Amino acid sequence: MVVSPVYAEPEELVDMIRDPHKQAGKDYVVIDVRGDDYIGGHIPGAINIPAGQMYDRVNDIITEYANVPIIYFHCALSQMRGPKSARIYSETINNLGKNTTQQVKILRNGFEGWHHRYRKEVDLIEDYDKNVWAWAIEDEN
C-alpha cells in the first residue's frame, strides 16, 4: 500500500488525546518538527524531532513507530516543515517497500493554530509558557 500524507483537523487529534482508551506512542504519535520554536509549549506526548534532522532520523522513526496506526506531523503553521517531514517519512516508507496501513497525517494550522484554539485547555498543551506566546495573545485582544 502506498503511503501518502493527508491533512487532519485539530479536532481529530483532540479526540485521540482525550480518549481514555488511546495512548500516545501506541495508538497515535505526534511528531513536532519545530526547532528553536518548540519551546513554550507543545501537544501532549509530542516528540520533538526538528525538521532539519528528518533525513538523518527517518529510518529510526519508521522502525520505532511501525506499529502505531496514525502518525501526525506538524510545525508552527504546518505549511512548510511539517508537510515536508511527512512527505520524507511517507516517501521513505514507500521506497523501502514497507507494507503498512499506517496513516500519515499533517496537523492543519500547526501548533500556532493549536495554541490559538486550545491554549486555555490545560490537558491539550504541555510545558506551556504564556510569556513565549505573549505576542499571539496580544494580537487577539
Q: What is the pLDDT of residues 56-87, one digit of tens each?
A: 999 999 999 999 999 999 999 999 999 999 99
Residue 1 has pLDDT above 80, yes or no: no
Residue pair 83/73 in contact (Cβ under 8 Å)? The answer is yes
Q: What is the pLDDT of residues 79-106, one digit of tens each?
A: 999 999 999 999 999 998 877 899 999 9
- The phi-psi region of residue 122 (left if phi > 0; otherwise alpha if psi is between -120 and 50; otherwise beta) is alpha
Model's pTM, two decimal places? Answer: 0.93
pLDDT of residue 100: 85
Q: Cα separation of 15 and 135, whole Å? A: 28
pLDDT of residue 139: 55
Q: What is the pLDDT of residues 108-138, one digit of tens each?
A: 999 999 999 999 999 999 999 888 877 776 6
pLDDT of residue 136: 72
Q: What structural domains and CATH numbers belong to the chain?
A: 6-136 (3.40.250.10)
Residue 130 grid cell = 504564556
pLDDT of residue 73: 98
